[in-house]
Structure 1
Amino acid sequence: MATKNLSAYNLESVPSAKGYKFGIVVAEWNYEITGALAQGAIDTLKKHDVQDDDIQIKHVPGTFELPLGGQFFAEYSDVDAVILIGCVIQGDTRHFDFICNGVTQGTTELNLKYNKPFIFGVLTTNNEQQALDRAGGNLGNKGDEAAVTAIKMVALQKGMQ
């Protein structure tokens, strides 16, 4: 269980993201949760000087499709980073394991193949309440954390060029 608020961070530790471009891929499955995560990411990007025109949002049917949606951003747009937003809740079968493993491996492969930050903003919880707690509930919003990570990774990459 997370022991910190996912929305809590030191504002001064995050550079301005003015001029950076971000893609956000949002899974439609569990949309009450993924929509809240996406809104958290958008709000955090804007808090750090990202303009509306520099945020592109696309939807995919489920969490398993996030890596392909991310690949489409890499191949058909000029974004600096892609935030992948999804939610997988444990059920009675091993389906949870296959989805989580697939999206994790797919995200790792995207980072390495495209030399671009692809941020894993995916909740993998035991139940719906844990997901709600992390999508703007009492543990903050994982979307905020994903946006901060995206900004920091783009700044790192641009600082090394």
Structure 2
Amino acid sequence: MSSTLKNLSDFSHLQVKSAAGLKFAIVVSQWNAEVTGALLNGAYKGLLDHGAQEENIALIEVPGSFELVAGSDIALRNKELDAVITLGCVIQGETRHFDFICDAVANGIAQVGIQHNKPVIFGVLTTDNLEQALDRAGGKHGNKGEEAAITAIQMAHIHKSY
């Protein structure tokens, strides 16, 4: 389905449970700061809007998207966390570096979640250009950071249920 002019961050069909009492870490890349800052704002607002308390949200800034894996692993040393949200942005360039980074980050984040048996949410944009990234970081397609927060809340509740 085409995403042209469509806000992809529509939660109207979901009943999102309360984040009250849940503990989260947001691990965010400092690279592509214009984009990741907007993703961070969306995630933070999404958690607060659903009842999370500020003192239950830890923030870890890492240099780039590749370091999101190590940052998540470090965050999960805190056994009280209910979920980790990773936020980053990798923009296609002229070399294959994009492919290697995207693959390593996606697989690494999945492995950290499995290793710690905790939800680790993939909030990493992998776009062709800066315009696409900005469209998904609070622009015309919504905010993937907010989507990651909603996903973290839902997965934290699922994890606590089993």
TM bin, normalised by shorter chain, reads: over 0.9
Give the structure 2 partner of residue 49 of structure 1: 51
Equivalent residue in structure 2 for 1:17, among 16, 19, 22: 19
Q: Note if 1:84 corresponds to 2:86.
A: yes
Runs of at least 5 residues in structure 2 that lack an aligned partner in the other structure: none
Equivalent residue in structure 2 for 1:34, among 9, 33, 36: 36
Q: Whose helix fraction is larger, Structure 1's or Structure 2's?
A: 1
Alignment of 1:8-157 (within 5 A): 8-10=10-12, 13-76=15-78, 78-157=80-159
- 1:83 and 1:119 in contact (8 A); partners too: yes
Q: TM-score, normalised by structure 2?
A: 0.94
Determine the C-alpha separation between the residues in 2 that align with 1:5 and 1:98.
29
Determine the C-alpha separation between the residues in 2 that align with 1:12 and 1:86.
25
1:67 to partner: Cα distance: 0.6
1:98 to partner: Cα distance: 0.7
Q: Deviations over 1:62-106 (max 9, x none)?
A: 000001000000114521100000000000000100110010010
1:11 to partner: Cα distance: 7.2
Q: CA RMSD in A?
A: 1.3
- 1:6 and 1:144 in contact (8 A); partners too: no
Q: Indicate the percent of aligned positions where both proteins have the same amino acid.
A: 53
Runs of at least 5 residues in structure 1 that lack an aligned partner in the other structure: none
Determine the C-alpha separation between the residues in 1 that align with 2:113 and 2:7.
26
Q: Between Structure 1 and Structure 2, how many residues are aligned?
A: 160
1:139 to partner: Cα distance: 0.3
Determine the C-alpha separation between the residues in 1 that align with 2:55 and 2:135.
30
User: What secondary structure, in the 3-state scheme, does the structure 1 residue paired with 2:76 have?
Assistant: helix
Determine the C-alpha separation between the residues in 2 that align with 1:150 and 1:121.
10
